[in-house]
Amino acid sequence: MDILTLFVTVPAITILILVFTKNLKQARIVSLVGMTVQALMSFHLVYAYFQERKINDDIMVFVKDMTWFEHFNIHYIVGVDGISVAMIVLSSIVVLAGVLISWKMEDLPKEFFISLIVLATGVFGFFISTDLFTMFVFYEIAVIPMYLLIGIWGSGPKEYSAMKLTLMLMGASALLLVGILGIYFNSGADGGALTFNILEIAKVNIPVEAQKLFFPITFIGFAVLGAMFPFHTWSPDGHASAPTAVSMLHAGVLMKLGGYGVFRIAMYLLPEGALIWSDFFIVLAVIGVFYGALAAVKQTDLKYINAYSSVSHLGMVLFALLMLNRTSWNGAILQSLSHGFMTAMFFALIGMIYGRTHTRDVTKLGGLLKVIPFISVMYVIAGLASLGLPGFSGFMAEMQIFVGAFQHEDMFHRVATIITVSAIVVTAVYILRVVGMMLMGPVKNAEFENLPKATWFERAGVLLLLIPIVFMGMTPIWLSDMIRESLQPFIERMM
């Protein structure tokens, strides 16, 4: 079996074994082993990728092509470039951390881990696919377990949130389906056979009329998952109701599918559509960035704060993608990765705080730094990374985004960039506000004087997420190399 298909086989085997587990202990051990293997495989993939690159300068490497539905020319094709390798590493780390954080999942543990890993299978499958149909299949596999995960193990108005999230995301995938079919039936424009193969389609000059029609459909289809304003409303409700690990996976990984899909499918395959529509979507992205940040300032529920912060950060990813140049694209991908680790860490910490204090309301919390120092310090670090302090991943990403954005000299882009930059100030406000209210000062509630310290699995989960954040901030050069090379085909296609 080839190196990439293993990324869906290992989770699938883990699921199969999980079916036969009897209790929480067995289920979590099996999941931990399975996902650790997955994480090790992803590290190995990075190494293998660099080795392969030396001898192979195709757009995608490790390509494996198998015919699936012959008549529709549907293939199971896997292949990766630097961007997808980075995304796979992100996913495997977040999933592993998610398993660790769910160490004490008492209610229906087996089903919980199965759903979680089904979701992970979909995500990995999505990132390794280079065939539109296969990609779409994995996309839907990744989305649907969310309903059960939030609905069964969530809190608060979970039935409502789960239904809202599922319907909005599946509605978006309905749009996507139309977009994919539109691309498929125009892939023969140069006289070749119809195909779902992304690399083949990228060689075709799809008629401008078709691009104009299908770009917004495909773009919105993916951008809903990337929480683009005004389609972001599922995200705060979903996050607030979801159990910890699911919030982590959702914000850390699943929402990245949106940005990745926008880039790899909508923009790469329909470049002229992107040029025509970019201004329109820039407006939406800028609104998202600013609105998300402002909404986060106003919230008092920790999960809502981070959910809106995600809307803001992912708005920035879309903004950067739409700036259409190499520097900002580089920034967009770094931002995706950085946000993935950071938000996952945030949600993990929030889960721990909530598990101890049974409240997520910042106005009721205070002085936690004295009571649970590890968790609090980690929260501060995540916060600083999130507001873009040099030395952490967020800085590298945002820096490149804005450098790229300022390369446009016209009025429209300037204004949009300045508004987006100013949103960073607002980000600092809501992060520091939470840190001040929740961690500093006197302990407001006597019950919170003696909270249990972080356990080993909690520490392991959080540190797992912290390492890449620091790594990306300190030595971004490896990652940048990997991404920069992979951006070349996009640049060529777009210009």
Partner 1 sequence: MNIENFLLMRQELVLLAVILLLIIGEIFSNNKKGLLNFAIGIFVVHTVIGFLPMQEGALFGGMFKSTSLIHLFKNVLNVGVLIILLQSADWIKEKVVPEHKSTEFFILMFSSLLGMYYMISAGDFLMFYLGLELSALPIAALIAFETYKRKSAEAGIKFILSAALASGTSLFGVSLLYATTGTIHFEEVAAIISYSNLSLLGFIFFFTGLAFKISLVPFHFWTADVYEGAPIGIASYLSVISKGAAVMILMIVLFTVMKPFDLVTHNLLYIVALATMFIGNLFALRQQNMKRFLAFSSIAQAGFILLGIMSNDQLGVATVVYFVGIYVFTNLAAFGVVQSISLQSGKENMDDYNGLYRTNPKLSLVMMLALFSLAGIPPVAGFFGKFFLFTAAASQGMYLLVFLAVVNVTISLYYYLLVIRAMFLRKSETAIPYFENKIYMKLGLVLAVIGILFIGLYSPIYDYIFEISKL
Residues that bind partner 1 (CB under 8 A): 68-72, 74, 133, 137, 140-141, 144, 147-148, 151-152, 158-159, 162-163, 166-167, 170-171, 174-175, 177-178, 181-182, 184-185, 213
Nearest CB to partner 1, comparing residues 164 and 313: 164
C-alpha dihedral, 77 to 48 to 35 to 257, nearest 10°? -50
What the block records as the tokens of 186 is 């125009």
| Closest distance of CB 180 from partner 1, Å | 9
Nearest CB to partner 1, comparing residues 184 and 379: 184
Q: Write the single-letter amino acid at 139.
A: Y
CB-CB contact of 368 with 375 (8 Å): yes
3-state secondary structure of 78: strand
| Closest distance of CB 23 from partner 1, Å | 15
What the block records as the tokens of 376 is 């609090």
What the block records as the tokens of 478 is 């490896």
Bridge-based pairing state of the strands 74-80 and 61-69: antiparallel
| Closest distance of CB 208 from partner 1, Å | 17
| Closest distance of CB 72 from partner 1, Å | 7
Phi, psi of 68 (to 5 degrees): -115, -80
| Closest distance of CB 487 from partner 1, Å | 31
Nearest CB to partner 1, comparing residues 75 and 326: 75
CB-CB contact of 315 with 289 (8 Å): yes
3-state secondary structure of 357: helix
3-state secondary structure of 451: coil
Nearest CB to partner 1, comparing residues 54 and 71: 71
| Closest distance of CB 350 from partner 1, Å | 23
Q: Is the peptide bond before 271 cis (omega within 30 degrees of 0)?
A: no
DSSP bridge pairs for 301 = 361
Nearest CB to partner 1, comparing residues 163 and 276: 163
Q: How far apart are CA 165 and CA 322, in angstroms?
A: 26
Nearest CB to partner 1, comparing residues 128 and 401: 128
Nearest CB to partner 1, comparing residues 73 and 336: 73
| Closest distance of CB 6 from partner 1, Å | 18
